[in-house]
Chain A
Amino acid sequence: MDAQLKRGLLDACLLAILTRGESYGYKISQSAERFMPVSESTLYPVLRRMEQQGYLETRQQEHNGRLRKYYRITPGGEDRLRVFRTEWGEIKRMVDYVMGEDRNDDAQ
């Protein structure tokens, strides 16, 4: 898959996961595994970048005697997600059209 496209997709997936509520590293990777092939889910670099970009914020809380880092979406992150959804609405229409055309050709 194209690297640029993949970056955008992963960003949006993570934002979509976190918009449902804050989460921590392991749980995020579990949720992401549903969409991405397991071997490709190297989430940390992307999570860190999005934190630096201001789309996420982190806090640490003790859980079962260990410190857990929780990730939460910021208002900036919500805005970013909204932009993704708007743009992808259009992309989805184009993709549907392309997929539809292929099927028609096969039928012939």
Chain B
Amino acid sequence: MTRNEFMWGLANALAGLPQSEITRITEYYDELFNEALDEGKTEAEVCESLGSPEEIAERVRVEMAFVRAEQKPDAKSMNAVLLVIIGLFALPIGIPIAFALISVMFGLAVAALAVVVSFGAVVIALGAAGLGCFIGGIAIIVGGGAWFGIGMIGAALLLFGLCVLGGVGSFTLMRAMLRGIVRLCRSVYNGISRHLKGRKQA
């Protein structure tokens, strides 16, 4: 076979593959021929050592399919997760565990809510107390007790200040707790799926 015959046969056999791949392959075998001929080999010798272009093209397709198959999301691992979830609920021991996990999550959510509500109550109380002092202060000033009245208004301002601070603080706290819960859920999920993957590889 001559070099041209080989390269022609190769181009034909590779028909259908992406142009970028065809270019790579052609460059590779061009380089191979150039180097071999430089060393003194004949075209026939090189062709014989390479085998048939059809066979090479076939192997190229096989290897490409192999790479494509590797890159697909692994059906096996997703099935494994599903099976475990179903299995958890099917086993006599699975349902209690699942419920336990859900209960813990629920308990945490309720606790978080309780904290938020109590903070809210304190903030409201501060606000109400501030308002009360303010009104009382004005009443006292009107009634004639100027200094005492002013003192009451001062107290009211203090209470309002604390109310605002409390409000901002509890808002920040609420956001932080929400983020913490989300992170906890995510790490639990990751832990479980990593454990399942580990078992699959074993």
Listed in ascending order, the chain A residues whose CB lies under 8 Å from chain B are 24-27, 29, 33, 38-42, 44-46, 48-49, 52-53, 64, 66-69
Contact of A39 among B35, B38, B49 (CB under 8 A): B49
A48 x B60 contact (CB < 8 A): yes
Contact of B35 among A25, A33, A53 (CB under 8 A): A25
Give 8 nearest A-B pairs by CB, closest first.
A26-B35, A49-B63, A45-B59, A45-B63, A45-B60, A52-B67, A44-B28, A38-B49
Sampled A-B contacts (8; CB under 8 Å): A25-B31, A25-B32, A26-B32, A45-B63, A49-B67, A53-B70, A69-B27, A69-B31
Complex Cα spacing A44 to B62, Å: 12
A48 x B24 contact (CB < 8 A): yes
Complex Cα spacing A68 to B38, Å: 13
Provided the pairs A29-B32, A48-B60 are in contact, do residues A42 and B51 lie with their beta carbons within 8 angstroms? yes
B67: nearest chain-A partner, CB-CB: A52
User: Shortest beta-carbon distance, B184 to chain A, in Å?
Assistant: 34
Provided the pairs A42-B50, A44-B25, A69-B27 are in contact, do residues A26 and B36 lie with their beta carbons within 8 angstroms? yes
B24 x A45 contact (CB < 8 A): no
Contact with A along B63-78 (1 / 0, CB 8 A): 1101100100000000
> Residue B5 at the A interface, CB < 8 A?
no
**Secondary structure at chain B's binding surface: helix, strand, loop or mixed?**
helix
Q: List residues of B (13-37) whose CB comes within 8 Å of A's CBs.
A: 21, 24-25, 27-29, 31-32, 34-36
User: Shortest beta-carbon distance, B46 to chain A, in Å?
Assistant: 10
User: Within 8 Å CB of B138, what residues of A?
Assistant: none
B67 x A53 contact (CB < 8 A): yes
User: Within 8 Å CB of B174, what residues of A?
Assistant: none
Provided the pairs A39-B49, A41-B49, A42-B56 are in contact, do residues A48 and B63 lie with their beta carbons within 8 angstroms? yes
Q: List residues of B (163-195) whose CB comes within 8 Å of A's CBs.
A: none
User: Shortest beta-carbon distance, A10 to chain B, in Å?
Assistant: 11
A41: nearest chain-B partner, CB-CB: B49
User: Shortest beta-carbon distance, B33 to chain A, in Å?
Assistant: 9
User: Within 8 Å CB of A26, what residues of B?
Assistant: 31-32, 35-36
B64: nearest chain-A partner, CB-CB: A49
A60: nearest chain-B partner, CB-CB: B27
A38: nearest chain-B partner, CB-CB: B49
User: Within 8 Å CB of B63, what residues of A?
Assistant: 45-46, 48-49
